[in-house]
Chains A and B, each alone.
Chain A
């Protein structure tokens, strides 16, 4: 009964669920030492916690816990059509972490997963082996490692971006993208820039960040991190997505692009992609029914082939691309 605060359920990461077999891995040790105050709950399989029925994703987000698990095959998934492959062949993604510490209103993860808890697969080396196997089969690969999470945002507690970069540095035939909204570049700034790794920053106007990207760094903080990464010699991709339709979006996005393109050395930007908000229809319906703190899902949308999108999707893309053309050659812009 002493140390009662240790057992508070009202803190983030107050509980850590651990698969029995995950305890054998160093990553589990590191995390359990990092969160000594957390209550450790042994589990047989992560899905017993993660896939429970009727979980309230949005409430759970405020009391997020960690699940440490061992991933079984498959370790790699083919890149979905809805995602940009930037002209690369053999497009795959790997999810060594499921879920994110940020709470972006438009995030598809809240439609895809039953739970907001963060699953960390501790056997990262098995992901590396799977990539090596695929590389020997295909000869080359374009791999995204931060799709179903924000790896760099977690770098302070889980150095997986570092591990992926170190892995990629000795594999020239692998092109790897690490996508983030974080300003955590300092956590990997000691690493030598790796020519086959692209650090991709998702950027939005501050109006969007403040309204819809709960918990994420400001645009200025992201721009600062990008400047440092470029100075250090990293390939930096700017990902201007999802474009969100808000009142006055034309001028908001114009000012945003002016700001980004006049602050950053655009000649050193690897490339830029632009994408309007789109979502799987079922995810859209599920989130729209359950998320009460946003208007994102309360607009009339068009549906095509199971994907929901804005009625004026093309107008938004064209308007934003037009602004970008002022600062970048078209070959560097993916719409």
Chain B
């Protein structure tokens, strides 16, 4: 595939995801191993990626337990054989993937799992052998998916989805500007943190008819008083 294509594919995929805040991305692929102690079919959780052309280094944050071997991976623009590489493993995609994914996601929501498909001084296995290696690695890959998913699903939030919708309705009803809407979210967020209570009832707003900018301002000030009350 190559790192340019992996970068384009990652960008395409992530830019089409609506809820990027609740998303993680994992690059699963094949790699070559420098040392024969890493046997064919072994899944490796990558903790460092080096781009061989630019020498740039990339590091995912691994915030979960796992039972895989970890290692550093070097991404080359062309096939590597019989030459020294700085890292334990080599591939042709990961740096492009990681660089692109980093523009969308934090490093703890980017992961890279590579299955050892060959040794640098050895021969390339056949397609069915490669498919078998990936099959054998699925449980490990699944564990990483679950761990990353768990971290996303259990991320602490202050305003839940319903409260966000409620605030959005209020902002729409009161014809708030974009900046007033942001401030409304911020005030509500801080109100909850400060008081430890849920949002105050603001149902009266839905009976109000806004006719002028002055009325918008007046209602905004009223909300400020409510949210900043002790």
Contacts and interface: CB of A to CB of B under 8 A. Distances in A.
A43 B57 contact: yes
B68 interface: yes
A298 B159 CA distance: 14
A48 B70 contact: no
Given A41-B72, A300-B228, A59 B194 contact: no
B194 A10 contact: no
Interface string A79-92: 00000000000000
Given A44-B55, A53-B102, A294-B193, A8 B65 contact: yes
Given A1-B69, A41-B59, A10 B106 contact: no
A250 to B, nearest CB: 16
A28 B92 CA distance: 33
A60 interface: yes
How many interface residues does chain B have, given as a range? 20 to 34
Nearest to A62: B63
Contacts of B64: 9-10
Interface in A211-251: none
A41 B228 CA distance: 48
Contacts of A294: 193
B63 A55 contact: no
Interface residues of A, number: 35
Interface in A282-325: 288, 292-295, 297-300
A331 interface: no
B135 interface: no
Given A9-B62, A42-B72, A54 B105 contact: yes
B106 A55 contact: yes
Contact of B63 (A10, A39, A48): A10
B193 A60 contact: no
A49 interface: yes
Contacts of B190: 288, 297-299
Given A7-B45, A9-B63, A41-B59, A293 B106 contact: no
B107 A7 contact: no
Interface in B4-44: 42
Contacts of A42: 48, 72
Contacts of B61: 55-56, 59-60, 63
A41 B48 contact: yes
Contacts of B106: 54-56
Most interface-central of B59, B61, B69 (chain A CB within 10 A): B61
A278 interface: no
B47 to A, nearest CB: 6
A71 interface: no
A299 B72 contact: no
B65 A9 contact: yes
A28 B30 CA distance: 34
Interface string A56-78: 10011011000000000000000
A294 B193 CA distance: 7
Contacts of A41: 47-48, 59, 72
Interface in A160-182: none
A56 B62 CA distance: 12
Given A41-B48, A54-B107, A9 B66 contact: yes
Contact of B66 (A7, A59, A62, A295): A7
A48 B57 contact: yes
A123 to B, nearest CB: 21
B211 interface: no
Given A7-B45, A44-B57, A292 B66 contact: no
A136 interface: no
B63 A4 contact: no
B157 interface: yes
A297 B158 CA distance: 13
Contacts of B45: 7
Nearest to B39: A1
A48 B59 contact: yes
Most interface-central of B48, B102, B105, B228 (chain A CB within 10 A): B48
A298 B191 contact: yes
9 closest pairs, A vs B, by CB?
A9-B62, A298-B190, A4-B67, A298-B194, A54-B106, A298-B193, A10-B65, A8-B65, A292-B156
9 contacts: A1-B68, A4-B66, A8-B66, A17-B59, A43-B57, A49-B57, A59-B108, A292-B193, A299-B190
Given A10-B63, A17-B59, A55-B61, 14 more contacts: A1-B42, A4-B68, A8-B65, A15-B47, A43-B48, A44-B57, A54-B105, A54-B106, A54-B107, A56-B108, A295-B194, A295-B196, A297-B193, A298-B190
Interface of A: 1, 4-5, 7-10, 14-15, 17, 39, 41-44, 48-49, 52-56, 59-60, 62-63, 288, 292-295, 297-300
